[in-house]
Every structure is written in structure tokens, then in C-alpha cells.
Amino acid sequence: MTMPKNLNNLTAHQIHKQLRERSITATEIAEHYFTRIENVDPEVRAYVDVWREDGLKKAAEVDDALERGDDPGPLAGVPVGLKDVLCTRQGYTTCCSKILDGYRSPFDATVVEKLQAAGAVFTGKLNMDEFAMGSSTENSARQVTRNPWNLKCVPGGSSGGSAAAVAADECVIALGSDTGGSIRQPAALCGCVGMKPTYGRVSRYGLVAFASSLDQIGPFTKDIEDLAFALNAMCGRDPRDSTSADMPVPDFTKSLGQDIAGLKIGLPKEYYTDALNPEMREKIEAAVAALEKLGAKVVEVSLPHTEYAIATYYIICTAEASANLARFDGVRYGYRSPDSGDVRDMYHNSKTEGFGDEVKRRIMLGTYVLSSGYYDAYYLKAQKVRSLIRRDFLQAFEQCDVIAAPTSPTAAFEIGEKTDDPLQMYLSDIYTISVNLATLPGVSMPCGLTKRGLPAGLQIISKPFNEETILRIAHAYEQNRGFDMGEPPVSAAAH
């Protein structure tokens, strides 16, 4: 079935407007996107489960509501994909791991409930690094997702399926999770917008935990206005999540279009070193210059404990992972090894056969740093350094309103390029992990294409619960950046 070209590039706010003008129906939109998934996803491999029947049913309900004159919600008819780390009663929730193969959740995550209430049409579950552990989506037990800008390259991770689906126009919004950059880094590599909200701004109830003090759910979108729409629907206090902040939720769309003259943008000197690819640096500096032309002031700031961030992160996140993943034992749910003589064998064999190499690596590291002989030397010391990293940011924000930084040190790398060198893979998150350690909000947005035609990402960070200022500056840049990203080759070829 051939659908009009213009449906590919519709944003959520355009869908919102056109549905109410009755120039399009939710069913037309849903049919288009499910047909597009069918045509494009065999190359991109973003989806692990497609919910066509249920999606069309929800779209029909939206159309019926509009016919009656009811308001079906701010995201009515918008196709939304879900990272496979979010619990849903619909379909399976496997975290792209063999150990959860065939698992069906008895409840929906809070964000899923909220988006459902806002009228979203869910398209299915999206591929990810197993248990959100990775920076390339090559650690999935299901498949390797490919970057729509170059199918030989990774989409980033761990939310690579979510980023690739938005970039390839296989959904309009996608949800991911960000533990150390797992929304912002794939957003940068795939040329879309991705935000990690402040820790506590969005409920984590129903998010399968990797590292509980770092994990945060956030959206991928096509532009900043869609990001504001998504945040309005997702944010808010949830009594089922003890880490959910009891903070008022503003209307984020009101941040858009405001003047940014006089706002101060900090450039951390520790981020602009030889570790940053020269082409990436050029794109970031051009973006900052564009913001200066709009009246923003640029100041240099310092984050002196940045050099300890990766070591600190991999101690804390692996320690929390080893505790969180202890529950996957082959007893209550998920995979159970058939070759087990007794309970000890069952535990050992189920975990050995069910977990992938990266998950095992992190469980072993985490168990080690939590062990009685090493707890003080590693885990306790890492928590102290984490406090210093957070203090660095808070002191920097006394001098500036936001920090502008690269999202990734390089553009997308080729599939298989870093799989044999975990330390090089870990360095992919060098500019993102500090934001999680300091529980801050941050967004990544496109700031141009490299000579190889791969996206570069600009990261904007601010103090806790200051998403409004981030959106204000990001939207101003987006509207005045002076270039058009165009479409990924996989999208253009599918027209």
C-alpha cells in the first residue's frame, strides 16, 4: 500500500494539529507507519516486536473520540516505540536477553500508562543492549541494530533501537533509558533529539533496573517541540516510585520561542581536549557561535574531577547491576537451564546460559567491588568521588545557566569495530556519564553532519529540574542553526 510521502516526516505537534483539523486520521497515520516498519526495518532492525493489530485498534479509538468531539489526548494518534526495558502487559518484556526470553509483564510501567492516557499509538518494542549494558546495541541477544545514516555503522547504545527507529521514521517518538548516556549518545549518532531528564523527574516504576541510582527514562524525538510534548505527558510524581520527585511539572512547551539573550553558556575546558575528534569539535564550536549570535554569552568553566568519571561510573553501575540482576535466577520467571541436577546447578547454569558476555562482565566487576575486602577501597571511594563530580557541576552553574558539550567524542563507528576492546567501548560515553552521576538533565541534538555523512551531536546540560532552560536554548539553536540535516539514506531510499 503506497502512502503519501509527507507522512514520513510528520512530527508529533503536526499530528496533533492535523488530527484536530481533520485533514488526516489516526488510522491513516498508523497504517503508514506499520507499512513503513515492514518496508524499512529488515535493513535497520530496530524492532524486536511489532504491535500492528493493537496499534490500529488504538488508532481507531482515537478517530472515534475525535468523531464524538472528545479530546483523545495531547499525543493522540502519535506512533510511539518502546525500548524493551520497559514493562508492558502487551507483548513481551525481555530486555533483549535470553534470560527473560518469553517473559510477559503483569503490569505496565508508569510512563507507558501516561503515554497511553495521552492517546499514543504504541508501535512495538525496540532493540537494545542486553539489560541496557552497552554503547552500540551490539550486545543484544536478539539482533544488531544498524544506523540509518550508514547501515555499516552502529546506532549507539544502549537505546540504539529507539534512536534508529526515530531517525528512520519508523515511529515519531520513542522511549529509552539513560544510565550513562544511553539516550543521548545514540541520539547523537543517529541524528535525532534525545533527553535524559533530571533523576526523579520521570517515574522509574516498571523500568527493569540496571543501576538504580543512575537509570532515568527519557524520550527520543524529531525536534525540540516534540520533546516538550513528550515531557509534558511523561513527567510527574509517582507514589509507586520512592525516588520520584515531588516537584511541580511545568508546561514545557512554554519554554519554546523565548529569547536567549543574556543567558550564559559554559564550556568546560576538560571536555575540549585532544580526546575530542577535531571534526566533532568544529561542529560544537559552530553551534556555540550560533548561540552567541542569538545573544547568549559564553564563559569557560571547569569540571576538575572529570578525569575520574569513567572509573567512578563503572564501579557504581556494576555494583548496582550485580545487586539488581541477582533476581534473575531461573526460579520465578525467565530462562531456566534444563541441564541442572540441583538448585546450585540450576542457579549457575541458568545465569551462565542466560546472560551475555557484557552482562556477566559487569556482574563480576560489581560483585568484586562490593566484596568485604574491597568495598571501602572501591565502592565507598567511588561514592565520595561522585559527590565531588556533582559539586563541580553545581559550582559551574553558579557561573552559567547551561553547559554546552559534545555528546560523543566521535561519530558512529562501524559494527564490530570496538567489540573486542571493552575499554574503548566504555570511552564512547566519556561526555555523558558525569550527567548521570550528578543526577542532572541533559539533551543531545543534531549539530551537523561529518564529511562521511554521519550526524554530530551537541549536548546541553543544566542544573537539576531546569529542563525548561535547556529546552529554551535548544529550541533557539534548532530554529537558527542555518543548515538542514536532510534524511538518512535508508529513509530517502524507502520513498
The DSSP bridge pattern shows strands 216-221 and 173-178 to be antiparallel
Helix (H) or strand (E) holding 97: none
In the set 83, 222, 418, 463, the catalytic residue is: 83
Measuring CA to CA, which residue among 176, 191, 179, 187 is closest to residue 126?
Answer: 176
Q: Which of the following is catalytic: 97, 105, 136, 158?
A: 158
Which of 480, 69, 55 lies closest to 257, judged by CA?
A: 480
* C-alpha closest to that of 407 among 429, 382, 375: 429
Q: How far apart are CA 288 and CA 147, in angstroms?
A: 27
Do 476 and 294 meet the contact criterion of CB atoms below 8 Å apart?
A: yes
159 has catalytic annotation: no
Task: Please provide the DSSP assignment of 344-399 as one string.
Answer: HHHHHHHHHHHS-HHHHHHHHHHHHHHSTTTIIIIIIHHHHHHHHHHHHHHHHTTT
Q: Has 158 been annotated as catalytic? A: yes
| Helix/strand/coil for 215 | coil
**Strands annotated E in 77-212:** 79-83, 121-126, 173-178, 193-196
Strand partners, 122: 80
Determine which one of 135, 159, 182, 462 is catalytic.
182
Please state, in angstroms and rounded to a whole number, the distance separating the CA atoms of residues 279 and 288.
14
Q: Which residues contact 369 (CB under 8 A, 6 or more apart)?
A: 315, 318, 319, 375, 378, 379, 382
> How is residue 79 written as a grid cell?
506512533
d(CA 413, CA 405): 20
**Cα–Cα dist 119/142, whole Å:** 29
Give ∠ CA 395-396-399 in degrees, rounded to 5: 105
Cell numbers at 331, concatenated: 526460579
Among all chains, which residue has been given the C-alpha cell 542532572?
A: 440
- Alpha-helical segments (H) within 257-308: 278-293
One DSSP character per residue, 156-182 reads -SSSHHHHHHHHTTS-SEEEEEESSST
Whether 162 is catalytic is no
Q: Which residues are catalytic, by number?
A: 83, 158, 182
